Amino acid sequence: MMIIDMHMHPIYYKSICPDEEELLFRQNAFGTFKQAPYDYDETFIELDYAKVDKAALLPLDLTTTEGGWVVNNDQIAKVVSEHPDRFIGFASVDPRREDALEVLDYAFGTLGLSGLKLNPAKQHFYPGEEFMEPIYKKCIEYNKPIIFHAGLSWEPNCITEYAHPLKFEPVAVRHPELRMCLAHFAWPFVREMVMLMIKYPNVYTDTSVLYMDSPEESIKRLFTIDMGPLWTDRALHSQIMFGSNGPRFRQFKLLRALEKIEMRDYAREGIYYKNALRFLGKEEA
């Protein structure tokens, strides 16, 4: 079965680590430490062991809040151009920058990136604010989905209230044609996340939930306690995508834990790849 990881941060990919200063900015802004840049070979060994076919790479534009990017759109496009068979490139934009729409036109129109990543907690905006409307309309114009960080964010200087799932409901109401993923099951607000998925079929989430406990304990709790054990089979099978949040969490450990969760084949296929293809706008899904 194909597996697509819809949530990876390529901050340590050696080919896009130009210097120590930029790496230090990324580490401090993203809040990961004690790791060093690595070659593609090491990345592919890990992807291959986990049997992950493709991974979505997420940047973040922090121009107005912190004066830089945690990987920029050109760097994402470079990685994708070097290995288009393994990577799906997302764009980012700081929604408060004056040229935000030009950044998106370049990212979608010229670079050909596959979607948009935003982190309201880190970029300090409420998703339902009026000034966000042109951003959403631009994504709809290009038929590009948005991955929002949602729920707890470990990154420094994040305000969780901005990323509470209830703050996304106005966007889901206004734009039923906009596919949006609230990442990390909006943990710990799992019930609110489920509520949104029941109401809005254009709202997706991902499985990158490992803030407490072992992978087995965390995923079991998510799929059988925080949610009823049949909720995925019965109602949510088309809106959950596999995501690892690497390098914070390791793919193969989350997949090992997911394999131990009982669910019907159609639900597992959806989580592992079909929902990702549909989210990305691929017709075959």
Q: Which residues contact other proteins by CB under 8 A?
A: 30-35, 38, 41-42, 45-46, 48-49, 154, 210-217, 247-250, 252-253
- List the one residue out of 250, 132, 130 whose CA is nearest residue 180: 132
DSSP one-letter code for 6: E
CB 59 → other proteins: shortest distance, Å?
17
199 touches 259 (CB < 8 A): no
Residue 173 or 212 with smaller CB distance to other proteins: 212
Residues 120-153: b if buried by 16+ CB within 10 A, e if exposed: bbbbbbbbbeeebeebbebbeebebbbbbbbbbb
196 touches 165 (CB < 8 A): yes
**DSSP codes, 74-113:** HHHHHHHHH-TTTEEE-EE--TTSTTHHHHHIIIIIIS--
CB 71 → other proteins: shortest distance, Å?
15
CB 221 → other proteins: shortest distance, Å?
12
Residue 96 or 250 with smaller CB distance to other proteins: 250
Residue 28 or 64 with smaller CB distance to other proteins: 28
In a 13 Å sphere around the CA of 193, the CA atoms on its Cβ side amount to 32
Residue 124 or 250 with smaller CB distance to other proteins: 250
CB 216 → other proteins: shortest distance, Å?
6
CB 158 → other proteins: shortest distance, Å?
12
Residue 106 or 252 with smaller CB distance to other proteins: 252
CB 201 → other proteins: shortest distance, Å?
31
CB 162 → other proteins: shortest distance, Å?
20
Residues 29-64: b if buried by 16+ CB within 10 A, e if exposed: bbbbeeeeeeebeebeebbeebebbbbbbbbbbbbe
Residue 31 or 128 with smaller CB distance to other proteins: 31
Q: How many angstroms separate the CA atoms of 273 and 241, rounded? A: 7
- List the one residue out of 11, 180, 8, 30 whose CA is nearest residue 86: 8
Residue 57 or 132 with smaller CB distance to other proteins: 57
